[in-house]
Amino acid sequence: MTKINKKKFFGTDGVRGEVNKFPMTPEIILKLGMSLGSYFQNDSRKNNVLIGKDTRLSGYMLESALVSGFTSVGTDVIMVGPMPTPAVAMLTHSLEANLGVIISASHNLYKDNGIKIFGSDGHKISDSDELEIEKRIMDGVSLSHPDLVGRATRLEGGVGRYIENLKINFKAGKTLSGMKIVIDSANGAAYRIAPQVLRELGATVVSINDKPNGVNINDQCGSTCPEKMIRKVLEEGADIGFALDGDADRLIVCDEKGCLVDGDHLIGAIVNYLKKNNELRKNHVVTTSMSNLGLEIYLKKLGIKLLRSEVGDKYVLEKMISFDTNFGAEKSGHIIFLDNSTTGDGLLAAIKLLSIMLHENKKSSEIFHPFKLFPQILRNIDSSASNSIESEIVKETIDYHNKQLGSSGRILVRQSGTEPLIRIMAEGTDTKSIKEAIHSIEKSFQKVN
């Protein structure tokens, strides 16, 4: 299976890239704001957009470019400052804004930045919307008359609204008193909110990587580097550890023994709990093509159908809506509780997991490793030769190994939507066979390049 992104500016999750290089330049982001403002104008009401950001130094520059773009076409701007992505989605919906925009490159280092966009319903905009916006960036849009230029204001109290929304979703019937939690905020958007909400729920909180300086976001910390979180859990004798990414829409977990919880194990444990408590709609769960076959087999035994989407939490959400189910997730840590949020929310997921622990009255290690995973190997290779994924030799090699593995395994090769990489995944019951498959596919790319 291969997938190529045909869009010029947008990837899997918005627009992303190295700052001051295409497309993350002030000129392009200015045009993006103009194009978004003109495309999502609503004649029946006042047009406004909510803009949040994470803690990257470049956020100031890009925020200014977006504000100029939006106001130049008559759209008012409400700035909320550093704020998790799911908080921007929530506030966009509750304030009835036309759009919500978060300036963040998620789990990437500070030199990158990105733009994620939510519609008035709090859902990420569609591929067709993105293509129309790209057309407007290239063709240009009309500017407003001077007396119709938009205004820019700052929203006070947005953090408090989001925290209260999180606390409402803690339904354990008790507090977190007596529970010790390690939280790694990745020096990102949730550096204040994450420890605050857990303390307000009664937990003893050990907060790490909560001192952003503009350039230390995701630097040897957070969801992509959970080792510090694991060490701190063991040092503190904590009950569980959570690691967020830079915009706090992703969650990585380790148990009280310091063992990382695989994302598919987490999905399986959550779904098992939802099923037992009659909280899983339609007995369907959506994950992506990256989820392990072991999860699919486990869910089947529970009487639950696993539906696979393309990689990207917005594609997970689209399939959830189309099949009318209320839970979906990516094994990378984007977890969507659709009854409570319109997008992946790391802090909401953490609170839900804590509720499960209290209801089950079990340790995290006893809950969050519910089945055996199939061996899986992942490789990333440089995608500077962008057409190599479509070459015949690569296709033939992938097809050959898929046939060799049969029903006991699979190969997935795709272009990353967030980085200049081709991602190769092989899984199966036999580790030797999948190692051989990975090696053979890597060699086929070398022949093309």
Domain range annotation of the chain:
10-158, 179-260, 262-348+355-367, 376-448
Q: Are 119 and 89 in contact (CB under 8 A)?
A: no
Question: Helix, strand, or coil here: 213?
Answer: coil
Q: Which two tokens stand for residue 93?
A: 């919906």
CA distance 249 to 230: 20
- Residue 402: what pLDDT? 86
Report the pLDDT averaged over residues 3-13: 73
Beta strands 180-184; 204-208: pairing state: parallel
The answer to whether 106 is a known catalytic residue is: yes
| 46 compared with 253, residue with greater pLDDT | 253
For residue 207, the surrounding DSSP H or E stretch is strand 204-208
CA distance 254 to 184: 11
In the CATH scheme, what is the code of domain 376-448? 3.30.310.50
Catalytic, out of 35, 106, 223, 364:
106
Using 50, 70 and 90 to split pLDDT, how confident is the model at 446?
A: confident
Q: Which two tokens stand for residue 214?
A: 């503009």
Lowest mean per-residue pLDDT among 9-13, 91-95, 180-184: 9-13
In the CATH scheme, what is the code of domain 262-348+355-367? 3.40.120.10
54: which DSSP letter?
A: -
- Residue 238 phi, psi (nearest 5): -75, 160
Report the pLDDT averaged over residues 383-409: 81
Task: Tell me, yes or no, if the two domains 10-158 and 262-348+355-367 fold the same way.
Answer: yes
Using 50, 70 and 90 to split pLDDT, how confident is the model at 386?
A: low
- Sign, CA torsion 184/291/349/231: negative
Q: Are 322 and 292 in contact (CB under 8 A)?
A: no
Q: Which two tokens stand for residue 422?
A: 């081709």
Q: Are 88 and 50 in contact (CB under 8 A)?
A: yes
Average pLDDT, rounded, for the chain = 93
374: which DSSP letter?
A: P
The pTM for the full model equals 0.89
CA distance 71 to 69: 6
CATH topology assigned to domain 10-158:
Alpha-D-Glucose-1,6-Bisphosphate; Chain A, domain 3 (3.40.120)
CATH 3.40.120.10 fits 179-260, yes or no: yes
